[in-house]
Structure 1
């Protein structure tokens, strides 16, 4: 009996010890859980100190650009335009999520578009609809901006016989060297059509004095929109032709009630307000045929206004269900001025949520950025190529080589610097291993 009591006492002691240990462990885990999840920006270009605790819905994250916080961080944030090929946090911890924000085309970081680079990221935010945090319609302020008549000018007001300017086409661009061959195409189109060009590219007219100062940072200013709305057509060429890469060049003329002459995203028809909202350069074999079409369209009010149903059809101004759904579900757009609505803050909270709730085995693929490695450009007369197409093709080939090197370095998981990277890139280029 005494022996039984002794065993019972020992068992009870062991049970209490286990219970105490588990209670202490549970409290420890809870204290860790109650601490903010840490994310760190990996960018030398952030010269200012950034370290704050942010509430992202039900989750709390600490976001910092202090590299000393890397061991405690569960997510590392990269801004694509500022990524340096010799600056990555290696060796890489298995528990850390890598997240990429890159809303630009591949012109300033050509290695980003390659799957060899993308597949090392758990989370992406790009213009592609297939990224984790898509920015496809970020430059469209709202559906109401498309349907509003704030800048609408009737056909008669745009006519060459009215008080409006006589040319029917406007070009406003200051980036004169693009992957899409924009300048070369417009130069040929000018041979067949009167075009008012106000930017530094092919300029033949000056903007009103009140608009000349810093118009590039005020692309949606009411004064500029009213001035441009007097034209029937506006040339809207993206600087690169990538699926879902759609900038203000497409949305701004639609907001004004001007018909875009568009070249760029091959998926653009998935996003236009109605089946016929723009004139697409790819529908014509060359600038000459496009000019003929624009001349006829610009003289026929019924046909011209059929491209402006988002302004004129008050019952059903936007028939594109894909666009309507996107306007309701998208998580970021440029006109959102509410607290925490900036692109970087939205991205940070999206990564915060992802780090806490999503498995680590899902990685990005090519569709998360989705730009062709061979630059696409608008077709010119007699099969001619844009002047700088060879340079852009060479740049993308180098970008592909850079991505392959980074892929190998990431798999080795050892620290490397810019000199190491450049040495390997030069070696491969000299030995013709970059093809």
Structure 2
């Protein structure tokens, strides 16, 4: 009897508590609903509390971004967003810190994070063409913004995604000399003035015109360079990791090797250089007469570090590519493989130069007048300058046509029958 009474008491107590909690929940919901309507429709002080608690934070963030953008505009500073990466580098290889310091026009600021400002408030957005993702592009675009297409690879190796061909980009920043912002792999500058000389369609090599004869050039060559030249004992070398380039350079070197010694370093050869060493200063310069600066494709203006690296040292590069090299390197600073009708003919000329030290040394005389320097700083400064001076937005209605069409003509002449290019290839191209 007592047990039954005990359980009835517990049940009654539990029911009361349950009713209490249910009533509490209902009352809380009613209060929340009332607060919501008061906040939006009533003239109550509680409105401010609600807005500050639930809404103002997001609005404050948007307002702060807008204020920051206005401050940059008032100072006359152009804001630039790097939308993606360049081969994994968030800074596009521009470097960190104030990269526009010492530029003629330096009122620019660059950002890696998309949410620093509202996307529509950036003056320019840079897109690395090789890492474009059609599913991760800006959802909203302001007409005043400049979308800049950035690419340092030749169109023979890197296609442009179709979606971005038509009327998407305003400016180009590539290795091409006719880009809005040329970004070449390196540059040549005057030793005395430090002024830019090349690469340029209107290049002026007048600083070196005061020497005309081989004899005069050799007589004026510094003794340190003469000592390096006299210490050389090997003919040709090549550092390469891509064994299947579209330019047919591997096939050319295989034929060249039948007529002259070629030491191939890297994945495609049998020789190696320690990773921790400077292969050009430690291996190439003291030992070899020639370095093969062979590009992976034949495209206009496509001249990479394969030429500029050896030019920094006392070795003569042998070029093989589709550019007009007179716009990139000083006269008598390189040998062009496409000036010869066959690899055999080139081999004979290289042997001759290695045996005639006076003639060989004349290929190094240009170093008295010019030097190789990094080009990134110049490209960065040009970017800032263009953004300040470009008043009207332009559109590349078909970027693929500009970047690809007829830009690699020699490449089209290579096939199973003609696996590599020579002077004869150029002659056929000229008269067809």
2:339 counterpart of 1:283: yes
How far apart are the structure 2 equivalents of 1:73 and 1:250? 37
Judging changes above 3 Å, is the alpha-carbon distance between structure 1 residues 380 and 307 closer, same or farther for their aligned structure 2 residues? farther
Higher-Rg member (1/2): 2
2:413 counterpart of 1:357: no
> Which residue number corresponds to residue 134 of structure 1?
182
How far apart are the structure 2 equivalents of 1:154 and 1:367? 50
**Gapped runs of 5+ residues in structure 2?**
1-68, 195-207, 209-219, 421-432
Matched position secondary structure for 2:118: helix
How far apart are the structure 2 equivalents of 1:193 and 1:264? 21
Judging changes above 3 Å, is the alpha-carbon distance between structure 1 residues 232 and 117 closer, same or farther for their aligned structure 2 residues? same
Superposed, which structure 2 residues align to 1:25-44 within 5 Å? 33-34=73-74, 37-43=78-84
How far apart are the structure 2 equivalents of 1:139 and 1:296? 30
Matched position secondary structure for 2:363: helix
1:357 CA drift (Å): 3.5
How far apart are the structure 1 equivalents of 2:292 and 2:352? 17
Judging changes above 3 Å, is the alpha-carbon distance between structure 1 residues 60 and 254 closer, same or farther for their aligned structure 2 residues? closer
Q: Which has the higher contact order (CA 8 A, sep 6+)?
A: 1
Q: Any conservation in 2 of the 1:99–1:351 contact (CA below 8 Å)?
A: no
1:231 CA drift (Å): 1.0
Please report the TM-score for the alignment, with normalisation by the length of structure 2. 0.59
1:380 CA drift (Å): 8.9
2:237 counterpart of 1:197: no
2:305 counterpart of 1:248: yes
Superposed, which structure 2 residues align to 1:235-314 within 5 Å? 235-274=292-331, 276-311=332-367, 314=368
Q: Any conservation in 2 of the 1:180–1:375 contact (CA below 8 Å)?
A: no
How far apart are the structure 1 equivalents of 2:166 and 2:343? 37
Matched position secondary structure for 1:224: helix
1:200 CA drift (Å): 1.6
- Cα deviation per residue 1:152-208 (whole Å; 9 max; x = unaligned)? 3547624xxxxx44x31111112222121221111111111111112221x23333x
2:171 counterpart of 1:117: no
**Gapped runs of 5+ residues in structure 1?**
1-28, 159-163, 216-220, 319-323, 335-340, 387-435
1:240 CA drift (Å): 2.1
Paired positions, count? 315
Please report the TM-score for the alignment, with normalisation by the length of structure 1. 0.59
